[in-house]
Copies of this chain bind each other. A is one copy, B any other.
Amino acid sequence: MMCQLFPYAEPVTRWLEPEQQRAWRAYVRMQGELNAHLNRQMSVDSEISMADFAVLVQLTDTPDGRVRVLELARFLHWEKSRISHHVARMEKRGLVRRENCSSDGRGSFVVLTDQGRSAIEAAAPAHAETVRALVFDQLTDAEVESLREISEKIFTRLATGECAAVIARCDADDPMEVVPEESGRSEA
Chain A contacts with B in 121-159, Cβ cutoff 8 A: 121-122, 124-125, 128-129, 131-139, 141, 143-159
Copies of this chain: 2
Residues of B close to A12: CB separation below 8 A: 125
Q: In the assembly, what is the distance between CA of A6 and CA of B125, in Å?
A: 10
Interface residues on A, range: 35 or more
Question: When the two chains form the complex, which single residue of B6, B24, B179 contacts A29, counting CB atoms closer than 8 Å?
Answer: B179
Contact B147 A23 (CB under 8 A): yes
What is the predominant secondary structure among interface residues of chain A facing chain B?
helix
* Stretch binding the partner chain, chosen from A64-72, A89-97, A100-108, A160-168: A160-168
Contact A121 B9 (CB under 8 A): yes
Q: Which of A5, A13, A60, A150 has the most CB of B within 10 A?
A: A150
